[in-house]
Amino acid sequence: MMPLLTTKGLSRDFGGLRAVDRVDFSLMPGEIRAVIGPNGAGKTTFVSLVSGRIQPSAGMIVFDGADITNLPAYVRVRRGIAYTFQLTSVYANLSVYANVALPAQLTLRHGSHSRSAIQAAVMTALERTGLADRAHMPAGQLSYGHQRLLEVAMGLALKPRLLILDEPTQGLADSEIDNFVTLVREIAKNATVLLIEHNMPVVMQLADRITVFNAGKILAEGTPEAIRENAAVQEAYLGTAP
């Protein structure tokens, strides 16, 4: 099986700082991959490069066999890459429903553009994220945790092949985190998930494999069990084994 996503020598410099340093990475279709590491390790910069929010200083990104290194973010969305931001980026003055309708319209641009098709896509995404009963609330009135879930719903409405989630459980209550874990497992039946997450119990529950970043490089990669037992990872990030 071919990887869905690969990067080769991917680097990004900010002035004199190399935030991502010659990263070779590959992600298989249907995988749930967690990216962990200390603050400033380069995790968000790396996924921003993959999604096209920023351009690399060097290296190459291949998605589904095609070189996408120089494609703008909106073209990558059309290719099937959806990215939820580390900080919420919902339209606060629009309803929850309208926030999800915008990406749903993008996805349906080639097919049925009927109101009923858009409505079905929106309500499916809201039901999956537990927000259907809040569809007509202004998004700005949602709790922070629910705004994070709304971002996931917006990503799902794009029907992505690769869904990138940046700190999705931040601000969620424990009960909501349990539902989120179930949701990601369900998403992974039809898509590949790349997850930046600091909540180690969530990472250990969800990830098929974990990639550990440190100082812009990949420090280690492996199963949750292998990462938990990796002495270099414990020293750089975990402190002690979780």
User: Mind listing the pLDDT tens digit for each residue in 32-46?
Assistant: 999 999 988 999 999
**159 lies in some domain:** yes
**60 lies in some domain:** no
Q: With 70 as the cut, is the pLDDT of residue 128 above it?
A: yes
How far apart (Å, rounded) are the C-alpha atoms in residues 57 and 229?
Answer: 34
Give the neighbor-by-neighbor strand order of the sheet with 81-84: 81-84, 162-166, 192-196, 32-36, 209-214, 217-222
Residue 63 CA, distance from chain mean position: 15
pLDDT for position 199: 92
Q: With 80 as the cut, is the pLDDT of residue 110 above it?
A: no
Q: Show the domain range for 165.
A: 30-53+72-238
Cβ partners under 8 Å of residue 44, min gap 6: 86, 166, 196
Average pLDDT over residues 211-238: 90
- Label residue 233 by pLDDT band (50, 70, 90): confident
Number of compact structural domains in the chain: 1
Q: What is the pTM of this model?
A: 0.89
**3 lies in some domain:** no
Average pLDDT over residues 236-240: 65
Lowest-confidence pick of 18-32, 93-107, 181-195, 228-242:
228-242
**10 lies in some domain:** no
**132 lies in some domain:** yes
Tens digit of pLDDT for each residue in 48-73? 999 999 999 999 999 999 999 999 99
Asked whether the beta carbons of 23 and 217 are under 8 A apart, the reply is yes
Tens digit of pLDDT for each residue in 155-171? 999 889 999 998 889 88
pLDDT for position 242: 43
Q: With 70 as the cut, is the pLDDT of residue 222 above it?
A: yes
How far apart (Å, rounded) are the C-alpha atoms in residues 170 and 87?
Answer: 10
Tens digit of pLDDT for each residue in 129-157? 999 999 999 999 999 889 989 999 999 99
- Label residue 109 by pLDDT band (50, 70, 90): low
**19 lies in some domain:** no
pLDDT for position 241: 43
Instruction: Supply the CATH number for residue 177's domain.
Output: 3.40.50.300
**181 lies in some domain:** yes
Average pLDDT over residues 109-125: 80
**130 lies in some domain:** yes
